[in-house]
Amino acid sequence: MKKLFALAVLLFPLYALAQSGIPETLVIDVPTASVLDKYQASLMTRAYSNGTAMESIDFGVLPQVNIGVSIAVYELIGNSEDIKILTPDFQAKWKLFDGNLYFPAIAIGYDGRRYGYIRPIKKYLDDRKGGYLTMTREILIPGFDATAGVNLSDFDHHDIYFFLGTSLRLTDWASLLAEWDNINNMRDSRFNVGARLYIAPSLALSAAVRRIGRGEENERIVQLRYVTNF
Protein backbone atom coordinates (compact mmCIF):
# COMPACT_ATOMS: atom_id res chain seq x y z
CA MET A 1 0.00 0.00 0.00
CA LYS A 2 2.80 2.42 0.86
CA LYS A 3 4.35 1.85 -2.55
CA LEU A 4 1.08 2.47 -4.42
CA PHE A 5 0.45 5.64 -2.42
CA ALA A 6 3.97 6.98 -3.09
CA LEU A 7 3.65 6.22 -6.82
CA ALA A 8 0.29 8.03 -6.95
CA VAL A 9 1.83 11.08 -5.28
CA LEU A 10 4.67 11.13 -7.80
CA LEU A 11 2.48 10.69 -10.88
CA PHE A 12 -0.64 12.66 -9.97
CA PRO A 13 0.67 15.99 -11.38
CA LEU A 14 0.75 14.42 -14.85
CA TYR A 15 -3.06 14.61 -14.95
CA ALA A 16 -3.05 18.42 -14.91
CA LEU A 17 -4.40 20.23 -17.98
CA ALA A 18 -1.65 20.83 -20.52
CA GLN A 19 -0.66 24.13 -22.10
CA SER A 20 1.62 24.56 -25.10
CA GLY A 21 5.41 24.83 -25.02
CA ILE A 22 8.21 23.31 -22.97
CA PRO A 23 10.98 25.71 -21.87
CA GLU A 24 14.21 23.68 -21.82
CA THR A 25 15.38 24.49 -18.30
CA LEU A 26 17.70 21.44 -18.14
CA VAL A 27 19.80 19.53 -20.65
CA ILE A 28 19.90 16.34 -18.55
CA ASP A 29 21.37 17.51 -15.24
CA VAL A 30 22.97 20.73 -16.49
CA PRO A 31 20.80 23.83 -15.93
CA THR A 32 20.29 26.08 -18.94
CA ALA A 33 19.54 29.80 -18.75
CA SER A 34 15.90 29.19 -19.73
CA VAL A 35 13.13 29.67 -17.17
CA LEU A 36 9.42 29.00 -16.98
CA ASP A 37 7.10 31.90 -17.75
CA LYS A 38 5.14 33.47 -14.92
CA TYR A 39 2.23 31.18 -13.92
CA GLN A 40 3.77 28.19 -15.69
CA ALA A 41 4.48 24.95 -13.82
CA SER A 42 6.82 22.10 -14.73
CA LEU A 43 6.17 18.59 -13.40
CA MET A 44 9.01 16.16 -13.95
CA THR A 45 9.20 12.48 -13.00
CA ARG A 46 12.58 10.74 -13.26
CA ALA A 47 13.15 6.99 -12.78
CA TYR A 48 16.74 5.87 -12.22
CA SER A 49 19.02 3.42 -10.39
CA ASN A 50 17.96 1.23 -7.45
CA GLY A 51 14.30 1.60 -8.41
CA THR A 52 14.33 5.26 -7.39
CA ALA A 53 11.75 7.76 -8.69
CA MET A 54 12.03 11.51 -8.20
CA GLU A 55 9.28 14.09 -8.70
CA SER A 56 10.35 17.71 -9.29
CA ILE A 57 7.80 20.53 -9.37
CA ASP A 58 8.83 24.03 -10.47
CA PHE A 59 6.78 27.21 -10.70
CA GLY A 60 7.20 30.50 -12.51
CA VAL A 61 6.30 32.71 -9.58
CA LEU A 62 7.57 36.05 -10.98
CA PRO A 63 8.82 37.19 -14.36
CA GLN A 64 12.18 35.40 -14.90
CA VAL A 65 12.06 33.76 -11.44
CA ASN A 66 11.37 30.06 -10.79
CA ILE A 67 11.22 28.10 -7.55
CA GLY A 68 10.57 24.42 -6.97
CA VAL A 69 10.84 21.38 -4.77
CA SER A 70 11.90 17.77 -5.42
CA ILE A 71 11.38 14.53 -3.54
CA ALA A 72 12.67 11.04 -4.33
CA VAL A 73 11.50 7.61 -3.21
CA TYR A 74 14.19 4.90 -3.05
CA GLU A 75 13.26 1.37 -4.24
CA LEU A 76 9.79 2.55 -5.26
CA ILE A 77 10.06 0.70 -8.59
CA GLY A 78 10.42 -3.07 -8.23
CA ASN A 79 9.49 -5.74 -5.74
CA SER A 80 10.88 -4.23 -2.55
CA GLU A 81 8.39 -3.29 0.13
CA ASP A 82 11.03 -1.49 2.20
CA ILE A 83 10.91 1.83 0.35
CA LYS A 84 12.58 4.96 1.69
CA ILE A 85 11.48 8.56 1.12
CA LEU A 86 14.65 10.62 0.75
CA THR A 87 15.14 14.13 2.10
CA PRO A 88 13.27 16.70 -0.06
CA ASP A 89 15.40 19.23 -1.96
CA PHE A 90 14.59 22.61 -3.48
CA GLN A 91 15.66 24.53 -6.57
CA ALA A 92 15.44 28.15 -7.71
CA LYS A 93 16.52 30.13 -10.77
CA TRP A 94 16.61 33.81 -11.73
CA LYS A 95 17.22 34.78 -15.35
CA LEU A 96 19.34 37.93 -15.35
CA PHE A 97 19.67 38.53 -19.09
CA ASP A 98 17.67 37.29 -22.08
CA GLY A 99 20.63 37.28 -24.46
CA ASN A 100 21.02 39.00 -27.82
CA LEU A 101 22.92 38.68 -31.07
CA TYR A 102 26.29 39.00 -29.33
CA PHE A 103 25.83 37.66 -25.80
CA PRO A 104 24.26 34.52 -24.31
CA ALA A 105 21.31 34.42 -21.93
CA ILE A 106 22.47 34.37 -18.30
CA ALA A 107 20.85 32.94 -15.17
CA ILE A 108 21.84 32.22 -11.59
CA GLY A 109 20.27 29.63 -9.33
CA TYR A 110 20.44 26.90 -6.76
CA ASP A 111 19.78 23.18 -7.29
CA GLY A 112 19.72 20.90 -4.26
CA ARG A 113 18.92 17.65 -6.08
CA ARG A 114 21.26 14.68 -5.54
CA TYR A 115 21.31 11.34 -7.35
CA GLY A 116 22.76 7.90 -6.77
CA TYR A 117 21.72 7.24 -3.18
CA ILE A 118 23.45 4.17 -1.68
CA ARG A 119 21.34 2.82 1.13
CA PRO A 120 23.89 0.70 3.07
CA ILE A 121 26.23 3.66 3.63
CA LYS A 122 23.55 6.38 3.44
CA LYS A 123 25.49 8.48 0.90
CA TYR A 124 24.98 9.83 -2.62
CA LEU A 125 27.22 9.26 -5.64
CA ASP A 126 26.51 12.81 -6.86
CA ASP A 127 26.78 15.99 -4.84
CA ARG A 128 24.09 18.63 -5.27
CA LYS A 129 24.85 21.27 -7.87
CA GLY A 130 24.33 23.98 -5.26
CA GLY A 131 24.71 27.59 -6.32
CA TYR A 132 25.42 28.13 -10.02
CA LEU A 133 25.74 30.61 -12.87
CA THR A 134 24.78 29.39 -16.34
CA MET A 135 24.88 30.84 -19.86
CA THR A 136 23.02 29.50 -22.92
CA ARG A 137 23.08 30.47 -26.56
CA GLU A 138 22.14 29.04 -29.94
CA ILE A 139 25.31 28.55 -31.98
CA LEU A 140 26.38 27.55 -35.49
CA ILE A 141 23.02 26.21 -36.72
CA PRO A 142 19.35 26.70 -35.78
CA GLY A 143 18.27 24.41 -32.97
CA PHE A 144 21.79 23.80 -31.64
CA ASP A 145 22.00 25.27 -28.12
CA ALA A 146 25.17 25.35 -26.03
CA THR A 147 25.29 25.89 -22.28
CA ALA A 148 28.28 26.58 -20.03
CA GLY A 149 28.48 27.48 -16.38
CA VAL A 150 30.09 27.25 -12.99
CA ASN A 151 28.76 25.94 -9.70
CA LEU A 152 29.70 25.76 -6.02
CA SER A 153 28.33 22.51 -4.65
CA ASP A 154 29.37 22.87 -1.02
CA PHE A 155 29.61 26.35 0.47
CA ASP A 156 31.76 25.00 3.31
CA HIS A 157 34.58 23.66 1.12
CA HIS A 158 34.56 26.32 -1.63
CA ASP A 159 35.41 23.87 -4.46
CA ILE A 160 34.51 25.33 -7.86
CA TYR A 161 33.03 23.06 -10.54
CA PHE A 162 32.21 23.69 -14.19
CA PHE A 163 29.65 22.23 -16.58
CA LEU A 164 29.01 22.14 -20.33
CA GLY A 165 25.88 21.02 -22.16
CA THR A 166 24.48 20.88 -25.67
CA SER A 167 21.12 20.06 -27.21
CA LEU A 168 20.44 19.61 -30.92
CA ARG A 169 16.83 19.84 -32.10
CA LEU A 170 16.65 17.35 -34.96
CA THR A 171 12.95 17.74 -35.75
CA ASP A 172 9.85 19.19 -34.14
CA TRP A 173 9.58 15.99 -32.10
CA ALA A 174 13.16 14.96 -31.21
CA SER A 175 16.40 16.33 -29.74
CA LEU A 176 19.82 14.88 -28.94
CA LEU A 177 21.45 15.78 -25.61
CA ALA A 178 25.02 15.68 -24.29
CA GLU A 179 26.73 17.20 -21.26
CA TRP A 180 29.93 17.15 -19.25
CA ASP A 181 29.04 17.90 -15.65
CA ASN A 182 30.79 18.33 -12.29
CA ILE A 183 34.11 19.26 -13.93
CA ASN A 184 36.84 19.67 -11.32
CA ASN A 185 38.91 16.54 -11.85
CA MET A 186 38.43 13.73 -14.35
CA ARG A 187 37.46 11.10 -11.76
CA ASP A 188 34.55 13.08 -10.33
CA SER A 189 33.27 14.59 -13.59
CA ARG A 190 30.23 13.06 -15.30
CA PHE A 191 29.61 12.59 -19.01
CA ASN A 192 25.93 12.10 -19.87
CA VAL A 193 24.17 11.60 -23.21
CA GLY A 194 20.52 11.17 -24.11
CA ALA A 195 17.59 11.92 -26.39
CA ARG A 196 14.28 13.71 -25.89
CA LEU A 197 10.99 13.04 -27.66
CA TYR A 198 8.22 15.65 -27.67
CA ILE A 199 5.11 13.52 -27.38
CA ALA A 200 2.82 16.57 -27.25
CA PRO A 201 3.38 20.35 -27.16
CA SER A 202 3.56 20.19 -23.37
CA LEU A 203 4.86 16.65 -22.78
CA ALA A 204 8.43 15.38 -23.29
CA LEU A 205 9.93 11.94 -22.72
CA SER A 206 13.70 11.70 -22.21
CA ALA A 207 16.07 8.74 -21.93
CA ALA A 208 19.72 9.10 -21.01
CA VAL A 209 22.86 7.35 -19.83
CA ARG A 210 24.71 9.03 -16.95
CA ARG A 211 28.25 8.64 -15.60
CA ILE A 212 29.53 7.08 -18.84
CA GLY A 213 32.88 5.39 -18.29
CA ARG A 214 32.40 5.04 -14.54
CA GLY A 215 31.96 1.25 -14.45
CA GLU A 216 29.30 0.12 -11.98
CA GLU A 217 28.29 3.74 -11.39
CA ASN A 218 26.99 3.95 -14.98
CA GLU A 219 23.25 4.66 -14.86
CA ARG A 220 20.28 4.68 -17.23
CA ILE A 221 17.38 7.04 -16.62
CA VAL A 222 13.92 7.69 -18.03
CA GLN A 223 12.26 11.04 -17.48
CA LEU A 224 8.80 12.44 -18.22
CA ARG A 225 8.21 16.21 -18.09
CA TYR A 226 4.90 18.03 -18.30
CA VAL A 227 4.33 21.79 -18.49
CA THR A 228 1.06 23.50 -17.60
CA ASN A 229 -0.30 26.79 -16.25
CA PHE A 230 -1.60 27.51 -12.78
pLDDT over 90 (residue 157): no
- pLDDT for 88-116, tens place per residue? 999 999 999 999 989 999 999 999 999 99
pLDDT at 21 (0 to 100): 67
Instruction: Give the count of domains, the chain.
Output: 1
CB 36 within 8 A of CB 139: no
Q: Stretch 199-209: mean pLDDT, rounded?
A: 95
Question: In the structure, what pLDDT confidence band is assigned to residue 79 with cuts at 50, 70 and 90?
Answer: confident
pLDDT averaged over the chain? 90
Domain that holds residue 62: 2-229
| Upper half-sphere CA count for residue 222 (Cβ side, 13 Å) | 3
The answer to whether residues 50 and 75 touch, using CB atoms and an 8 Å cutoff, is yes
Question: At 190, which amino acid appears?
Answer: R
How many CB atoms neighbour CB 26 within 10 A? 24
What CATH number did the domain enclosing 224 receive? 2.40.160.40
Q: Residue 50: is its pLDDT beyond 60?
A: yes
pLDDT at 4 over 50: no
